[in-house]
Amino acid sequence: MPTANLKVWRGDDSGDYQNYQVEYGHGEVVLDVIHKLQATQAGDLAVRWNCKAGKCGSCSAEINGHPRLQCMTRMEIFEEGEEIVIAPLKTYKLIRDLVTDVSVNFEKAKTIPFVDLEKPAPGDVRRMAQMDIDRVQEFHKCIECFICMDVCHVIRDHPDNMDKFVGPRYFVQLAMVAMHPLDQHPKREMVAYGFGLEYCNITKCCTEVCPEGIHITDNAIIPLKERRVDELYDPLRMIGRALFGKK
Amino acid sequence: MPEYETHEYDVLVIGAGGAGLRAAVEASSMGARTAVITKSLLGKAHTVMAEGGMAAAMGNVWPQDNWQVHFRDTMRGGKMLNNWRMAQIHAQEAPDRVYELEEWGALFDRTPDGRILQRDFGGHRYARLAHVGDRTGLEMIRILQQRGVHQGLDVFAECTINRLFKDSQGRIAGAIGYRRETGELLLFKAKAVVLATGGAGRIWEITSNSWEGTADGHALALYAGADMIDMECIQFHPTGMVWPLSVKGLLVTEGVRGDGGTLKNIDGKRFMFDYIPAMFAAETADNEPEADRWYNDKTVRRTPDLLPRDEVARAINSEVKAGRGTEHGGVFLDIASRRSPEYIRSRLPSMYHQFMQLAGVDITKEAFEVGPTMHYIMGGVRVEAEKQGTAVPGLYAAGEVSGGMHGGNRLGGNSLSDLVVFGRRAGMGAAEYALGLTSAPALDQADVDERAALMMKPLEGDGRENPYAIHTALRTLMQNKVGIIRTESELQEALVEIASLKERLTRVKAGGDTKYNPGWHLALDLEHMITVAEVVTRAAIERKESRGGHTRDDYPNPSPEFGKVNIVDRLGPNGVEVRQEPLPQMPPELAELFADGGDDAHG
C-alpha cells in the first residue's frame, strides 16, 4: 500500500501543521486517510463529516490550497509521496484542527425571506411546468458546504464585510425564493439593499469551486443584479416615481 | 461540582432530521417553548441521504391509487408485523404532508400536466414516490430547516444528549448533554422530550449510515424505562456500493431499479425471477417480457427486481454464496443497457455523479457492482399510534428511532413520509402534554452530577482501551454474527462477546481534552451502541422464525405463532428483559383488504 505524506493543521489559531504518514488503498479519499489517522495516531483530531458521499457538505477543507470536500477528493489525484496539506477553511474562525465556526451562516439564513406561494385554484393542486422549475431546482442542489463562501474574496480578504454581504450561498437561496414560479414577494423586496448584492464583482470564484456544479454567478447572482437594475434604476420607472411619488 | 449551561423548555426535540424538525415546527407553532438538539450542524442529518422519494398515495400518475392500497402494500411489505393503526395513519396523511412541503417551498418533479410526479419503488403497487430527482431527502431537510429557522426555533447545533432524567413520579424532567465544540456540559430542564435520533447503522460494519447513527435515542429510551419492539428486524438494503472499499456500503437508490435497472449475476442472468416468494407470486412477473412491460403498463405483473428489500437482499446474498457473485462479492445492477444516457442522467443525477467520482464507473455505459448494506432499523421505541407517546410520561419518539410503523420490513419511500407524518404528531403530542402540566417536573441534582462525572471518565484515569478499536470490534462482531443470516449458536456467541466489549469499555481512554474531541465523543456513544447491540441480539434469539428483516438459518420459515407477536424488550434491574406480546388487531374493514392472504410472510 502506498503511504500518504500528510501535513495537517492541529490546534487553534496558535496551532501549527503536523506531519503524519498514513497508508492508503485503492479508491480511498482524503477523508478515509483522515479517519485512519484519527483511529491510529491522533484520536482527538477534530474533523466534521456525515454522509461521506458528497451529499451533506460537512467535510470541507483546504487541500493543497484548494477548498474541497474531503470525501470527494480521491487520493489518486496526488502523486505518490507528494506532500498533501490539509487545512481548515480560512474564511471562518477556527475552532480546532479542521473544524471552523460556521454559525454566522445560520444568522444569514434568517435574513432570506421564506417563500410565500400563491394559493392553488379552488379544488385543484398547485400546478407548475417542469420547464419552469428546472432552473430553480438547480439552486435546491446546494449542500451548504460553504466552500463558495470560503473562496469569496469579499469576505475571505475583508472579514469586515461579513455582516453586510450574505455571500454566494445565500444569493443562491435568495434566487431560489425569488425565482420560484409561484412566489408572491414583491420583486423589489428581493433585490433590495441589505443583502450586499452590490459587493459581488462577478469574478465567479464561487461557481468554479461549487462541488454541486451550481452556476452561482450566471444563474443566481447576475439575474438578481439584473432584476435590481430593472426594479430600481429603470429610467422610465424613476421618472414615474419622481412624478407620482413612491411606488 | 461541575458547571452546567442550563436551559428550560417545554419541549426538547433530540435530533434534527426530518422527524425532529417537523416535530419542532409543530410544537413551536402550538405555543410550546421548543428547542432542537442536533449532533451535527443544522441541515446535515442523515435524512439528506434519502434519495428515491416520499411515498404518498396522491394518485397523480395512477388514479387507481389510494390510501387503502398504500396501507395494504405497507402491511404486506412489513410481513404483517406492523402496528396497523400507524400504517393506516401514515397512508392517510402522507399526501397532505407532501403538499405541505410544497407549500413551504419544496419543488418536486412534475407530471406533464404540472402536478407532482410519482415514481415506482419496491413493494409499492403503483408509482407513488414524490421525488426531486434522486435527492429528495436533501429537499426535505432544507425546506424544514428553513421553515424552522423562520419560525424562530432555538437550535443547539453540534450538541449531544447523553441521558434523560425523570422526576420522583417517573415523568420526564430533563436531559444532560455536552457541546461538541467546547465540551461544556448542557443541562436541559424540559417537560417533554421528543426522540428523533434516527438509526443504529454504526453498530454494523457495512452500513449506509453516517457517524450519527449510533442508536442514541434507542439507548436513551431504554435507560429511561421505555419499551422497544421488533429490534431484531434490521433492513439490509439490497444495493449498497461494494467497490472500492472506501465506499463499501454507500447507498445506491432503489430508484435505479424503479427507473428500469435490473439485477444480474456474473453469468448475466436476471436472477430475481428465481426468488419470487409465494406471498408475492400472484402479482410478480415470472418472465422478462412481462416484467419489462410493467414499467409502462400496470395491468401486467410487476418486475421481481422491485420485490420488497428483504427479499432482494436475501436473493443477492444467496447468489453470492452460490458463487455467482462479482469479483468484489456483489452482483451487477444494470441500467446502462436498458435506458438512454440522457434518461439516466436526468433521473439519477447524483447516482451518476457518485459512481463517476468515487468509483470511476460511468453508470450510463456499464453495469456496476452492488451488495447488501445495513440501512435501517425497523424496530425501535414502542409508541402509541396517535401521538407517539411511550411508556414514560412526557417521552415521545418519531421517525427511525420509533418502532411499529414498518413491522418486519420497511418499504422504500415510506421513511420520508413516516418522518413528517409522525414527526408532526409527536410534536403535537409533546406540546399538548407539556402545555397541560401545571408545574415543571423537578430534576434530581444528584442524578445530574453523578451522570456528569461518568461522562468525564473516558478522559480521566489510566485505562488503555482505544475507543476506535472497541468500535471496530463491535461492528465486525455484529456484521458476522448478527447480520443478514443468523443462527442460535452465533447469536449466543455474540452475547458473550458483547459482554466482553462492555467490560473493555470500562477501561476506555480518550486522549486529549474536551474541546471538539471525536475520541471522547465516540467513547460516550459506545455505551449506547453496545447496549442496543445486546437488545438486538437478545430479540433475534427470541424470534425463532424468519420474517422480514430477521432471517434465521436454523428457522428458515415464518411461523404462524411468531407472526402473531411483537418481541418487546426493556432494561430491568437485572439487565435486558425480553418478552412476547400479541400484535394489536386491526378492525374487520381493514382486515378485509387482506382477504386474499397476507399473513403468510414470505413462505
pLDDT tens-digit profile of B405-444? 999 999 999 999 999 999 999 999 999 999 999 999 999 9
What's the CATH number where A24 sits? 3.10.20.30
Residues A92 and A141 in one domain: no
Distance from C-alpha of A151 to C-alpha of A147, rounded to nearest angstrom: 6
Task: Print the domain residue range for A191.
Answer: 102-244
What's the total number of domains in chain B? 3
pLDDT at A234: 84
Domain boundary among A100, A135, A164: A100
Judged against a pLDDT cut of 70, whether residue B238 lies above it is answered with yes
Reported as a single tens digit per residue, the pLDDT across A103-146 is: 999 999 999 999 999 999 999 999 999 999 999 999 999 999 99
Last residue of a domain, one of A53, A72, A100: A100
Question: B99 vs B13, B56, B103, CA distance in Å?
Answer: 24, 10, 6
pLDDT per residue as tens digits for the range B246-279: 899 999 999 999 999 999 999 999 999 999 999 8
Whether residues B132 and A180 touch (CB distance < 8 A) is answered with no
What is residue B600's predicted lDDT score, i.e. its pLDDT? 44
Pair A174, A153 in one domain: yes
Comparing CB atoms, the residue among A58, A96, A136 nearest residue B516 is: A96
CA atoms within 13 A of residue A90's CA, in its CB half-sphere: 16
ipTM score: 0.94
| Domain limit, last residue, from B372, B399, B414 | B372
Whole-number pLDDT of residue A192 = 81
Exposed/middle/buried for residue A235 (C-beta within 10 Å: 0-12, 13-18, 19+):
exposed
Per-residue model confidence (pLDDT) at position B598: 52
- Are B82 and B173 members of one domain? yes
| pLDDT range class, residue B65, cuts 50, 70, 90 | very high
One domain, residues A96 and A106? no
CA A154 to chain centre: 14
Q: Containing domain of residue B22, as a range? A: 5-198+211-228+381-436
Is the predicted pLDDT of residue A238 greater than 90, yes or no?
A: no
Q: How many residues does chain A have?
A: 247
Same domain, B191 and B112: yes
Q: Residue A5's beta-bridge partner residues?
A: A21, A83
Which residues of chain B have a CB within 8 Å of the CB of A97?
A: 516
Identify which of B320, B326, B290 has the alpha carbon closest to the alpha carbon of residue B305.
B290
Residues B219 and B243 in one domain: no
pLDDT tens column, B350-389: 899 899 989 999 999 999 999 999 999 999 999 999 999 9
In angstroms, the CA B213 to CA B556 distance is 29
Q: Return the pLDDT at A246.
A: 61
- Asked if A18 and A128 sit in the same domain, the reply is no
The pLDDT assigned to A125 comes to: 96
**Is residue B531's pLDDT more than 60?**
yes
CATH code of the domain containing B219? 3.50.50.60
B471 pLDDT above the threshold of 50: yes
Residue B599 pLDDT exceeds 70: no
B242 and B224 fall within a common domain: no
Same domain, B389 and B493: no
Does the structure show a pLDDT above 80 at B1?
no
Enter the C-alpha cell of residue B223: 435507560
Confirm whether B334 is domain-assigned: yes
CATH number of the domain within which A141 lies: 1.10.1060.10
Domain count of the fold of chain A: 2
Q: Assess if residue B563 is contained within a domain.
A: no
The overall average pLDDT reported for chain B is 95
Predicted confidence (pLDDT) at residue B216 exceeds the cutoff of 90: yes
Please tell me whether residues A15 and A58 are part of one structural domain. Answer: yes
Look at residue A87 and give its three-state secondary structure: strand
Cα–Cα distance measured from residue B578 to residue B541, given in angstroms and rounded to the nearest whole number: 10
- The answer, yes or no, to whether residue A174 has pLDDT greater than 50, is yes
- Identify the band that residue B602 occupies on the pLDDT scale cut at 50, 70 and 90: very low
* SS3 state of residue B266: coil
Find the mean pLDDT for residues B47-52.
91
Is residue B128 located within the same domain as residue B222?
Answer: yes
In a domain, B473, yes or no: yes
In sequence order, what are the beta bridge partners of B178?
B160, B185
Q: Are residues A189 and A239 in the same domain?
A: yes
Range B446-475 burial, b when 16+ CB lie within 10 A, else e = eebeebbeebbbbbeeebebbbbebbeebb
Identify the H or E element spanning B493: helix B488-505
Is there a single domain that holds both residue A109 and residue A223?
Answer: yes
Higher pLDDT, B40 or B603: B40
Q: Is residue B300 part of a domain?
A: yes
- Write out pLDDT tens, residues B135-187: 999 999 999 999 999 999 999 999 999 999 999 999 999 999 999 999 999 99
Judge residue B524's burial from the number of C-beta atoms within 10 Å of its C-beta, 0-12 exposed, 13-18 middle, 19 or more buried.
Answer: buried
Is B344 in the same domain as B473? no
Distance from CA of A93 to the nearest CA of B (A): 13
> What local confidence, expressed as pLDDT, does residue A245 receive?
74
Residue A55 and residue A115 in one domain: no
pLDDT higher than threshold 50 for residue B603: no
Dump pLDDT digits (tens) for A42-101: 999 999 999 999 999 999 999 999 999 999 999 999 998 899 999 999 999 999 999 999
B137 and B111 within one domain: yes
- DSSP 8-class letter at B319: H
Indicate which residue of B76, B180, B257, B382 is catalytic.
B257
Handedness of CA B306, B309, B311, B312 (dihedral sign): positive
Clarify whether residues B529 and B461 are in a common domain.
yes
- The SS3 of residue B564 is helix
B128 is catalytic: no
Which one from B33, B46, B179, B237 is the annotated catalytic residue?
B237
- Going by their DSSP bridges, the two strands B172-179 and A99-101 should be labelled as unpaired
Q: What is the pLDDT of residue A237?
A: 82
The CATH number linked to B322 is 3.90.700.10
More confident of the two residues B392 and B353:
B392
CA B508, CA A116: separation in Å to the nearest integer?
52
Separation of CA A207 from chain center: 9
Is B391 near chain A, with CB under 8 Å? no
In chain B, pLDDT over 90 holds for what percent of residues? 93
pLDDT band at B601; cut points 50, 70, 90: very low
User: With a CB-CB cutoff of 8 Å, which residues 102-161 of chain B face chain A?
Assistant: 102-105, 107, 109-110, 113-116, 132-133, 135, 138-139, 142, 146-147, 149-150, 155, 157
